[in-house]
A and B are shown apart, each in its own frame.
Chain A
Amino acid sequence: MALTLGHHLFASLHQDLINKFLKAYRSARPKYFFYACPPLGAGAPSIDFWILPPLPVPGTNSGIPFSVRILDAKIDLNPADAGLSLPPPLTLGTDQFAILLTVEICFMCGYLIEIDVPREQFLGKESHQPPPRQNERPHNVCAKLSIWAVGRPVVTANSAGGRDIGLHLDAIVVKDVGALESLFECYFKTMVNTLLDAMRYPVEQFALGAFGSLALAAGPTIVDDQIKVWADIL
């Protein structure tokens, strides 16, 4: 069966390539997979890790260093791989992808960093608030979370006048976090969607620079473990 379906050009990216791309992206831009307040970061700030401010501790003018690191990420395009087991209520539907993430969150307990909190600073001038006591020796406390999510391909106009194709999460599940589940799901859905936005790919630039000017005609759509697009040569 013809692949081009009446267009000049058909292009598909297999999920194996998408996962290789994730690795290449992580290798070229490690900071998108590691967000940390500097005491917890490793390597060069803004290159090896994305600088986060400390997490404010209520009632203080201080924050506790914390980090969020994506240890592992794998994408599975529809249809689901044999080993894929999505927790309910997630299902991998038509034109969808699943992403599995292992995320590590760390706090550096016993270590506070003074931060600007404007209103409280102002009040502090009238009645100076002593810094919180730190009796503990600084130590890292970490937890690993398993995250499952499903989403769909999207296409958006880019600043170069072309189109970017990308992925966007529709639903996410974070298990084994008890009552915090919905909070974590909100937090990580926002974070992962921001990461996926940074990975949008200018489709007209795809290898098809070889063809001169292209116009995206249809897609992207996910089927047969591939993201497929159709284009016409101008």
Chain B
Amino acid sequence: MDTTLAISEAGVNTVFHKALAGLPPVAKTESQTWGPFFATYSVAVFLSGGTASLENAPANKLDVSGLHISGSVAASVGFDLGLILPTICIPPEPICADLPLVGHVCLPQFCIPWPHASISPFLPFSFNVDLSFGFRVDDLGAQWGIDVLVDPFSPRFDLTPMAPVILSQMEAEVTSKLSAIPGLGGLLSGLIKTVMDAFTPIVDLLLDAISGLINAVLKTLDLLNVSIPFNLLKFDKLQTFIPTNVPLLGDAPVKMTLTGLTASVLDHELVAEGQFA
């Protein structure tokens, strides 16, 4: 081979972390409706950290342990209380009478206009994953790419700590909205309980939906997509060995073509070998 390039595990860690830092933030938004409840939620995900190690040939693997996946969920959850609570009127039934000379007369009835309740919780999350990647060399047109392709994996994360946050925010919202209505008196606690009993099962559905969206966001990252190679290093096929005007003004560039490139792991180093024409 004309040229050999070896990168140590420490060097691969540096390259990998530079590649992570260069990833644009990814986010996705979805909406769902469960009966009277509706929710819109956006998930943003960031990758960082992790420790890279190299598995020698024939495995030729890049293993990354403890890749940190962090992010946040910006949700908006709401419903019309009137779709859950019964209609409450004073008097409960219309009171009417036929009066001589006056005709049919009813006493005025006041029905409580149930308000709309909504919360916008901000829910951070983070978890680590251990990944394994295979190395490959790809023809990128004008460049050769040393790429990695992640092996199938199942991210495991637990969003249950979000449930009490959502429930307490919703209970505070419902309490606030109902407390502002005069005359409910002793009915208030019962009404709140009615609403929260209806809402509590929805939280599990919401968290399932958010989990699905996090998984969908992760799949949009080339690094974590099992069918899309992620570029670690690029080398121009046409390499400029001596640039124009060096050392003299008017000197043409000296270029050579990198016709082939291989990559493998030997002695826990990523070794690339290139052939020039």
Contacts and interface: CB of A to CB of B under 8 A. Distances in A.
Given A24-B255, A25-B242, A211-B233, A12 B4 contact: yes
B239 A2 contact: no
Interface string B244-269: 00011011111110100000000111
B10 interface: yes
B252 A28 contact: yes
B254 A24 contact: yes
A183 interface: no
B234 interface: yes
B235 interface: yes
B267 A10 contact: no
A20 interface: yes
B2 A201 contact: no
Contact of B3 (A4, A6, A7, A12): A12
A84 interface: no
A3 B269 contact: yes
B145 to A, nearest CB: 10
A198 B14 CA distance: 34
B276 interface: yes
Interface residues of B, number: 39
A22 to B, nearest CB: 10
Interface of B: 1-8, 10-11, 14-15, 18, 233-236, 239-243, 247-248, 250-256, 258, 267-269, 271, 274, 276-277
23 contacts: A1-B267, A4-B6, A6-B8, A9-B7, A10-B4, A11-B6, A12-B3, A13-B3, A14-B1, A17-B3, A20-B256, A21-B241, A24-B241, A25-B242, A28-B252, A29-B251, A29-B252, A29-B254, A200-B247, A205-B240, A207-B235, A212-B18, A233-B11
Q: Which 6 A-B pairs have the closest CB atoms?
A: A8-B11, A17-B2, A3-B6, A4-B8, A10-B6, A2-B267
Given A2-B267, A16-B2, 12 more contacts: A4-B11, A8-B11, A9-B7, A10-B5, A10-B6, A20-B276, A29-B251, A199-B242, A207-B236, A207-B274, A208-B5, A211-B233
